[in-house]
Chains A and B, each alone.
Chain A
Amino acid sequence: MANSASGMAVNDECKLKFLELKAKRNHRFIVFKIEEKIQQVVVEKLGSPDESYDAFTSSLPANECRYAVFDFDFTTDENCQKSKIFFIAWAPDTSRVRSKMLYASSKDRFKRELDGIQVELQATDPSEMSLDIVKSRAL
C-alpha cells in the first residue's frame, strides 16, 4: 500500500466496463470520476469504438481531474496493426488543489483494479497527452 492513500473504493461497474473494453472491445474509451458522496470511483462516460482521440480528449473537463482509459489503435513500422490500452491520470493545473489531492491519493488503488493497462500517462495540460505523445509511447 502506498503512503497517504485516500481509501477511496472502486465501483464494480468500473472493472466491468474495463473488461468489456479489453476483451470485447465495445468501448473506445472510458472516463472515470470520483463521487465523493458515496466515496467511490465510478464510470462517468463511455466512448463507442468508432470515436476518435479528439472526441476522447474533449470529453475530459478542462478544470477538473479525472481518470481515463483509452484503447489506442496504431500501425507499427513493420505495418503491423496493434492496439494498446492507455491509462491517463488527468489533473489539469487549473483544477482545485482538493481535486488534485483526491485523485492522486486514490490512483494507486484504482489502477490496481484495472488489470491489463499497458501504458500510463499523467497529464496536467492537454499538451502532455497530445496524439503525438500517445503515439510515441505506444511504439
Chain B
Amino acid sequence: MYGGDEVSAIVIDLGSHTCKAGYAGEDAPKAVFPSVVGSIDQMEVDDPANTENSGSGNDSKNTGRPFDSEKSKGKRKLYVGSQALGHRRDHMEVLSPIKDGVVVDWDIVDSIWDHAFRECLLVDPKEHPMLLAEPSSNTQQQRERTAQLMFEKYEVPALFLAKNAVLTSFASGRATSLVVDSGGGSTTVAPVHDGYVLQKAVASSPIGGEFLTECMMKSLESKGISIKPRYSFKRKETRPGDFQTVDVDFPNTTESYKLYSQRVIASDIKECVCRAPDTPFDESAYSNIPMTPYELPDGQTIEIGADRFKVPDVLFNPSLAQTIPNMESFADIAPSVRGLPQMVIESINKCDVDIRRELFSSILLAGGTASMQQLKERLEKDLLEESPQTARVKVLASGNSTERRFSVWIGGSILASLGSFQQMWFSKAEYEEHGASYIQRKCP
C-alpha cells in the first residue's frame, strides 16, 4: 500500500504514434509528442560539435544510469520530441519502439519516458507515483519489464498499469462496453465487462492512422504529386506576397527520416480533407466529385478528389488498399485483415450470449483515427445491416474532440487522482518485498 501524500501522480499513455503525458487530475495531457525517435549511430558519426548544438536532443547514454541490456546495439544517440525530430540531421534514422502493439526496443521507450519526465513535465520521477496505460494485449513479461524499469531505474514510489480499453470504458461511465480504439499503428476492438477485458474476444488489425497516411501518400504519388519534406527546400519572399522555392540537397538524409517528414505532411492532408463515405466506396460513383484544394508547405496547391473518401474507406474494406498503386507490401497481410464492422461483430460473437446485447448498445470509439469525420455514423450504419435484428446498435463517441482523442489518458488522470485509489498503487516497498511479478496481482 502506498501512503498517498499530496504529491500528484504522473499519467503516461504511450501509443504507437503519440505519447501523451501529464499530471493526474488535469483535463488533458501536458505533453503530446511522437512515439518515434531519431537515432544516430555513434560508430558512424563521432562529431562532438553535433552533440552540443542539438538543443532539445536527449542523450540517454549521458544520463549516467546503467542499462541492463541492449549494450550489443552499440552506442547511439537518440533524439526525442517533436522539436528534436523536426530538425534534420545527417544519418539520423527514425525508429519506433513499438511493433504490432508490442514494445520491441526498451531503450527507446526508456528515452521517451525520460524525455517526458525531465523535459516536458519537469518532474523528478522519484517523487511521483506513475500510472501507465497499457494495451490490452500486453504480455506478462512486458509488464514485469515495465515494473522493473520504473522501480529500479526511475525509482518511482508507486506504479499502476491500467488497461487502455478499461480506462476508455470507465471514462464514458460504462463498466461494460465494446471499445473500438483506432490509433496510429493499429485498431483494436476490446470487450470490457465489469472492468475486465475479455482477452479471448479482443480483435486487432494493423490498419490505423499511419496505414491510411501511407495510402494517401501512395495514391498522391501515383497521380504524380510528390510531397517535398519541409527540410528539402527554402522559401524566400522575393517581393511582398511573392515566394520563390529553392530546393536544398542533403545527401546524408536517411530514407526513414525522409519518409517520416513526408508522412507528417500526408497525415495533415488526411486529417484536413478525409471523410468516411456514407456507403462503401465505389470508384465510378466518386469519379466526378468536386476537388478539394490543399496547400503543401512548398506553396504548391494540390487537389484531392475521390481519395478523400477512398482512403478512409480502407478502414471498412481493407482490400481497397490493394487498388492503390505501390501498396504491394499490404498484399502479404491482406487475407487476415478484417474491416472494422467485421471486427466488431466477430469480437462480440466471441463473448458470452448474455452480454452481447449490452455490448452492441455501447460501442465506444476512441483514438485519433476514430475522430475521422462521419466514421461513427458509417460504422453504426454498417453494423445495423450486419448485426442480429434484435440488437440495439449504438456507437458512441464523446462530442468533445479532446475527450475522444485522449480518452485513455483522461481516464487515467481521473483514476490516479481519486482519494480512494491511493491504496491501490503497487508501491516500491511491495516491489522490494515481492518482486516484479507482483504486478500481476496488483494490476490484474
A-to-B contact residues, CB < 8 Å: 1-9, 36, 39, 65, 89, 91-93, 95, 97-108, 111, 122, 124, 128
B420: interface (CB < 8 Å): yes
State which residues 404-435 of B face A: CB under 8 Å.
Answer: 410-411, 414-415, 418-424
Q: Whole-angstrom distance from the CB of B423 to the nearest CB of chain A? A: 5
- Is the pair A101, B174 in contact by a Cβ cutoff of 8 Å? no
Q: What bracket does the count of chain B residues touching chain A fall in?
A: 35 or more
- Is the pair B195, A108 in contact by a Cβ cutoff of 8 Å? yes
- When distances are taken between beta carbons in the complex, the residues of chain B under 8 Å from A8 are 418, 420
With A3-B196, A39-B420 already in contact, the answer to whether A122 and B414 are too (CB < 8 A) is no
- Is the pair B444, A100 in contact by a Cβ cutoff of 8 Å? no
Q: Which residue of B lies closest to A133 (CB)?
A: B392
Q: A122–B178 Cα gap in the complex (Å)? A: 13
Q: Whole-angstrom distance from the CB of B285 to the nearest CB of chain A? A: 35
Q: Which residue of A lies closest to B424 (CB)?
A: A7
- Is the pair B410, A3 in contact by a Cβ cutoff of 8 Å? no
Q: A89–B174 Cα gap in the complex (Å)? A: 8
Q: Which residue of A lies closest to B169 (CB)?
A: A104
Instruction: Please indicate which of the listed interface residues B162, B176, B421 has the most CB atoms of chain A within 10 Å of its own CB.
Output: B421
- When distances are taken between beta carbons in the complex, the residues of chain A under 8 Å from B414 are 97-98, 101-102
User: Interface digits, B147-179 against A, CB 8 Å rule (1 contact, 0 not)?
Assistant: 000000000000010110011011111111000
- Is the pair B170, A101 in contact by a Cβ cutoff of 8 Å? yes
- Is the pair B174, A104 in contact by a Cβ cutoff of 8 Å? yes
- Is the pair A3, B173 in contact by a Cβ cutoff of 8 Å? no
With A36-B419, A97-B403 already in contact, the answer to whether A2 and B195 are too (CB < 8 A) is yes
Q: A21–B362 Cα gap in the complex (Å)? A: 30
Instruction: Please indicate which of the listed interface residues A2, A3, A5, A9 has the most CB atoms of chain B within 10 Å of its own CB.
Output: A3
Q: Whole-angstrom distance from the CB of A131 to the nearest CB of chain B? A: 16
- Is the pair B175, A100 in contact by a Cβ cutoff of 8 Å? no
B358: interface (CB < 8 Å): yes
Secondary structure at chain B's binding surface: helix, strand, loop or mixed?
A: mixed
B197: interface (CB < 8 Å): yes
- Is the pair A107, B419 in contact by a Cβ cutoff of 8 Å? no
With A4-B163, A39-B420 already in contact, the answer to whether A104 and B170 are too (CB < 8 A) is yes
Q: Whole-angstrom distance from the CB of B135 to the nearest CB of chain A? A: 12
- Is the pair A122, B419 in contact by a Cβ cutoff of 8 Å? no
Pick the residue among A6, A9, A100, A108 that contacts B173 (CB under 8 A): A100
Q: Whole-angstrom distance from the CB of B340 to the nearest CB of chain A? A: 22
Pick the residue among B396, B410, B415 that contacts A105 (CB under 8 A): B415
B194: interface (CB < 8 Å): yes
- Is the pair A4, B170 in contact by a Cβ cutoff of 8 Å? yes
Q: Whole-angstrom distance from the CB of A106 to the nearest CB of chain B? A: 8
- When distances are taken between beta carbons in the complex, the residues of chain A under 8 Å from B162 are 3-4
- Is the pair B194, A122 in contact by a Cβ cutoff of 8 Å? no
User: Interface digits, B20-33 against A, CB 8 Å rule (1 contact, 0 not)?
Assistant: 00000000000000
- Is the pair B173, A103 in contact by a Cβ cutoff of 8 Å? yes
B443: interface (CB < 8 Å): yes
Q: Whole-angstrom distance from the CB of B324 to the nearest CB of chain A? A: 38
Q: A2–B194 Cα gap in the complex (Å)? A: 7
Q: A70–B299 Cα gap in the complex (Å)? A: 65
30 A/B residue pairs, CB under 8 Å, sorted by A? A2-B194, A2-B195, A3-B197, A4-B195, A4-B411, A5-B424, A6-B415, A6-B421, A7-B418, A7-B421, A7-B423, A8-B418, A9-B420, A89-B175, A91-B174, A97-B410, A99-B173, A101-B171, A101-B173, A101-B411, A102-B414, A103-B173, A104-B169, A104-B170, A104-B172, A104-B175, A105-B195, A107-B195, A122-B358, A124-B174
